[in-house]
Amino acid sequence: MIEICIYGRGGQGGVTLAELVAHAAISEGKHAQSMPSFGPERRGAPVLAFLRVNEAERIKIRAEIEEPDVLVVLDPGLLHVGGVFSRLKKDGTAIINTKKSHDAMKSEIGVSKLATIDAMGIARDVLGLPIVNTTMIGALVKAMEVVKLKSLEEPMKERFGKVATKNIEAMRKAYDETAVS
């Protein structure tokens, strides 16, 4: 089972990211669950979402993820807030939205595996909005292959309707541009 924590801010789409990947995993015959962790926060407040994907067995656990395999950080301003990396498993993967170079982030953050992408830049270019969730899905799939990109198209069409095409384009562009090491 892969356990993923998604750190973002209200309005960035972290909860939607988890839901879309869970739907895609289920469409591939996998078992998945997603859940948010937030209270009455307002737009811009820190938000945490959880995602579990398991190839073979039903997921029976229904609790917050204490020690994730993967951290997805939608807002680089959250990198050094509240011990984000203290939760990550020793051999875990961090996927970060950042304008910094991959090498600079690798030096700054001591993780086993790192994926970086300027998700905000892609979101602004392709979507015309600073909402990075679908862009970060592309980075997650590139780094972890948790689902196939093609499997995300239908959930995106259902969720976004007319603007799904642009979200799919942003996801694919991020997949192509994500640096992983």
pLDDT in tens, 79-106: 877 778 888 999 999 999 999 999 999 9
Can you give the pLDDT at residue 40?
Answer: 59
Output the domain CATH number for residue 24: 3.40.920.10
Strand partners, 52: 3, 33
Total residues belonging to the chain: 181
Count the domains in the chain.
1
Tokens of 116: 């970086």
Mean pLDDT, the chain, rounded, equals 94
What are the distances in angstroms from CA 140 to CA 42, 73, 114, 148?
26, 10, 11, 11
Placement of tokens 């997603």 in the chain:
34
Give whole-number Cα distances, 95 to 47, 61, 144, in Å: 16, 24, 10
* C-alpha span between 123 and 131 (Å, rounded): 6
Provide the domain limits for residue 161.
2-180
pLDDT tens figures, 115-162: 999 999 999 999 999 999 999 999 999 999 999 999 999 999 999 999
Alpha helices in 123-163 (DSSP H): 133-144, 149-160
Confidence of residue 76 (pLDDT cuts 50, 70, 90): very high
pTM here is 0.95
Span 46-57, average pLDDT: 94
State the DSSP code for 41.
Answer: P
